[in-house]
Structure 1
Amino acid sequence: MSNFAENVANKILEALSKFYENNKRIKIISAHISGISYENIGDSGLSFLNDIARDGKFSVYTTVNPMGADIYDNVFNLNEKFIVKQKKIAEIYLRMGAVESFTCTPYDYFSLPKRGSHVAWAESSAVVYGNSFLKLFTNKESALSALASSILGETIYSDLHIKENRKITLAFKYKDRINELILGLLIYHIGKKVEKPFTIKLYKELSSLEKKALAAALGTVSNVSLFSTSIKGKEVKEIFEIFKNDLRKEYEELNTCEKGEVIILGCPHLNHAEISNFLRRMDGRHFKKDCIIACCREAYKNIIKLYDQSLLSKKRIFFFQNACPIFSPLLKVMGVKNIITNSVKAAHYYKYRGIGVNLKKLEDIIETESE
């Protein structure tokens, strides 16, 4: 006999099956749940989760998205009532069986499904990254459908779970020099135009930071959740070349101010290798304004084994652990109106939250904002 949580989960998937006009379900081996910030779900969401958690348990390996506050170290003096509510949300997910992950990059530190596995992931950039670089099979789930799938261990057999829908027949090529910002703008530009999976021919090996930039920007602007960086073996019928000047419109759209009061890095979350590389590039310099790095707690633990935290604070480098600055009261508490970032995804969301964005590549942030 099914319990309350299973009944609710089944109703969610039944509604989804009507949308897809497909009743068939497929077993999954992992889920990733989004929308856990108290900033997003509020008291009504917390109440709903309390009801689900009365008898609900996750039946598959489940990770969860970042919170709206760093509940481990309240460096920025966020409201204690907010933190208490955020802790309650986190505790509910852990009680239901989630891994203590709280990151938008579940592929960095946590158990990775095998290539070709069917999963139900909800975070837009993780979905694109999983499909495109890890060769997983997942649709862009909503917070509710991912929650339902994590309880039932299955999702609707539709869209990118079906091999036929993953065929790539459209390609783009870009020959100019690239960095994480150019790549974000490039796929943001493409994402506005396409309605099916595609490939981008690039002329260099991509770093993990660059892969994340691609996945995040596409997930932000498009419903397409799969692309490739290789034309070889694809049934490509059309190839379009894109030039650097073609990206000017996207840059002007997202770069809404010429300076910011604080630097925000880690959208998506940075891992400790990426943070270490960034700190090496600082080469003894220190920032002229606060630099906040969003990362999961595992990354932070690794970093403070390598670097003295007090010295990093003197460089005005701070961490926002297991949390996302975008869906958080952080900037409001700090009184910040304009930020500096290298993330196209962050720029997109901050713009629509009324925050000014000075968008530039990481190299330029180090050069212009530190001494």
Structure 2
Amino acid sequence: MVDNLRLTAEEERLLGGQDGDGVALAMRVIVSLARLGGAPRLVEITSAHVDSCLYHGQVSLDFAHTLAGLGAKVRVPTTLNVGSMDLLHPGLVRTTTDAEREIAVRGRELMAAYVDLGCTPTWTCAPYQLPGRPGVGEHVAWAESNAVVFANSVLGARTDRYGDFVDICAAITGRAPYSGLQTTEARRGTVVVDCRRLGERFLRSELAYPLLGHHVGSLAGGQIPVLVGIPGDVSEDNLKAFGAAAASAGGVALFHAVGVTPEAPTGSLDHLPRYDVDLETLRATRRRLSTSASGELDAVSVGTPHASYAECERLAGLLRDGPPVRLAFYLSTGRATRARAEETGVLRTLESAGVTVVVDTCTYVTSILSPAWTNVMTNSGKWAHYAPGNLNVDVVLGSLEECVASAREGRVVLHELGA
């Protein structure tokens, strides 16, 4: 392997420990990653989003405590992804087994450790819903797959898909390797997905985007898809749902939507391989994602990625009139969104209708749902992808309206796609 990496005098100083042993340790991680990736230099980042605060075992704590013990602090604004606890509502998290109790105790300890490192306790997988989000061309170091794909695609910021420990090291050093999606050449589209056969009416529906995202992720893998035919006024929430599903199904870290996203190509796409998508393809995608076929239902879980304020408001509108829900209904969102919903009365409407609002974590990674439940409905392609393996449940994927109708009926209520 040829080492082309060249560090500035400032970076050599950081690596040499002149800003402390914690910074030097973090710098060694970043420099090693840069050399492995063949980066010629490092870039200064303007923000970081850290996924390492979700507890995955003792090594998670050991690394954070080591950095803190060496005096490390983040040097750029750094938000935190979901943790292993809802710190505002700890009673929601089940702690009946030894394993659950360990995760609760150590998960809380890990979350505190990252705050001690100087990170902002946002506890959300949707940092792009917070103020101060990065602009086009801005270099950042974001972890968590849906945050990465949203930052790259919708915001036009630049981040590679960083894993645990790399994210906090980038935050501490203020540096990331100039490689992967930090570079211009790596951000060009590699495969075209023509969505025009789906029809504009369907492409204006909510359910089009988690289904399309899952299909495109499965199709594209780690490639960069270019979407043709997406309406120019598509909402950020729909782009969020698409990106999250594509990132979980196939590892997509950047997509372009022609006429929508800031770096989408404007010229001919004839040189790229091309795939067409029609309604029958997405009907088959829903059948694959919906592992439950019985029609029975135990609970509903929405808000993965975390629900925006607009989504909370929409759910409140659906629940404001009509019969109460008959099943457990969970909504996952960030603290900032919950606070806004509380100020406007949206939270009161949701809770009065029987919705349990979860913050700081998500129901597919934390022991919140009852282990006795076997069939759960969601409007999230990401939740539907991960929950069967994580929670040992069967899943039904539907729109938010279908989720509400099903919770009221106590059984699955679905409509034909495109009808």
Say yes or no: TM over 0.5: yes
Could you tell me which residue of structure 2 aligns to residue 74 of structure 1?
90
Residues 15-58 of structure 1: CA distance to partner in whole angstroms, max 9, x if unpaired?
322431235211111111113223xx233312321121121100
Q: 1:340 to 1:157 in 2, by over 3 A?
A: same
Instruction: Please say if 1:61 is aligned against 2:98.
Output: no
- State the one-letter code of the partner of 2:226: T
Could you tell me which residue of structure 1 aligns to residue 367 of structure 2?
329
More RCO (CA 8 Å, sep 6+):
1
The 5 Å alignment of 1:1-371 reads: 2=17, 3-38=20-55, 41-54=56-69, 55-76=71-92, 78-79=94-95, 82-168=103-189, 170-175=191-196, 176=198, 177-178=202-203, 179-194=205-220, 195-204=222-231, 205-230=233-258, 233-237=266-270, 238=272, 239-257=274-292, 258-285=295-322, 286-307=324-345, 312-331=350-369, 333=370, 335-353=372-390, 354-370=392-408
- State the one-letter code of the partner of 2:163: S
- State the one-letter code of the partner of 1:219: A
Q: Is the 8 A contact 1:49 1:92 kept in 2?
A: yes
Q: Is the 8 A contact 2:312 2:346 kept in 1?
A: no
**Equivalent-residue separation in structure 2 for 1:98 and 1:11 (angstroms):** 20
- State the one-letter code of the partner of 1:347: A
Aligned residues: 368
Quote the RMSD (CA, aligned, Å): 2.1
Residues 304-340 of structure 1: CA distance to partner in whole angstroms, max 9, x if unpaired?
2222766643421011112111111222x55333311
Q: Which one is further off, 294-303 or 82-91?
A: 82-91
Q: 1:249 to 1:14 in 2, by over 3 A?
A: farther
Q: Is the 8 A contact 2:47 2:171 kept in 1?
A: yes
**Equivalent-residue separation in structure 2 for 1:14 and 1:263 (angstroms):** 45
Tell me how far 1:260 sits from its aligned partner.
Answer: 2.9
Q: Is the 8 A contact 1:28 1:120 kept in 2?
A: yes
Which runs of 5 or more residues in structure 1 are unaligned? none
**Equivalent-residue separation in structure 2 for 1:57 and 1:328 (angstroms):** 28
Identity %: 24
Which runs of 5 or more residues in structure 2 are unaligned? 1-15, 96-100, 260-264, 410-419
Could you tell me which residue of structure 1 aligns to residue 3 of structure 2?
none
SS at match of 1:327: coil
**Equivalent-residue separation in structure 1 for 2:386 and 2:87 (angstroms):** 23
- State the one-letter code of the partner of 1:130: A
**Equivalent-residue separation in structure 2 for 1:309 and 1:224 (angstroms):** 33
Q: 1:228 to 1:309 in 2, by over 3 A?
A: closer
**Equivalent-residue separation in structure 1 for 2:151 and 2:349 (angstroms):** 36
SS at match of 1:370: helix
Tell me how far 1:342 sits from its aligned partner.
Answer: 0.7
Q: 1:320 to 1:234 in 2, by over 3 A?
A: farther
- State the one-letter code of the partner of 1:14: V
**If the length of structure 2 is used for normalisation, what is the TM-score?**
0.82
**Equivalent-residue separation in structure 1 for 2:252 and 2:244 (angstroms):** 12
**Equivalent-residue separation in structure 2 for 1:125 and 1:148 (angstroms):** 20
Tell me how far 1:7 sits from its aligned partner.
Answer: 3.1
Residues 173-219 of structure 1: CA distance to partner in whole angstroms, max 9, x if unpaired?
22321333322221221222224322212343212321110110111
**Equivalent-residue separation in structure 2 for 1:147 and 1:325 (angstroms):** 24
SS at match of 1:180: coil
Q: 1:309 to 1:209 in 2, by over 3 A?
A: closer
**Equivalent-residue separation in structure 1 for 2:33 and 2:142 (angstroms):** 15
**Equivalent-residue separation in structure 2 for 1:279 and 1:271 (angstroms):** 12
Q: Is the 8 A contact 1:167 1:235 kept in 2?
A: no
SS at match of 1:66: coil
Q: 1:130 to 1:61 in 2, by over 3 A?
A: same
- State the one-letter code of the partner of 1:166: R
Q: Which has the larger radius of gyration?
A: 2
Q: 1:4 to 1:259 in 2, by over 3 A?
A: farther
Q: Is the 8 A contact 2:146 2:244 kept in 1?
A: yes
**Equivalent-residue separation in structure 2 for 1:137 and 1:126 (angstroms):** 12
Q: 1:77 to 1:347 in 2, by over 3 A?
A: closer
- State the one-letter code of the partner of 2:247: G
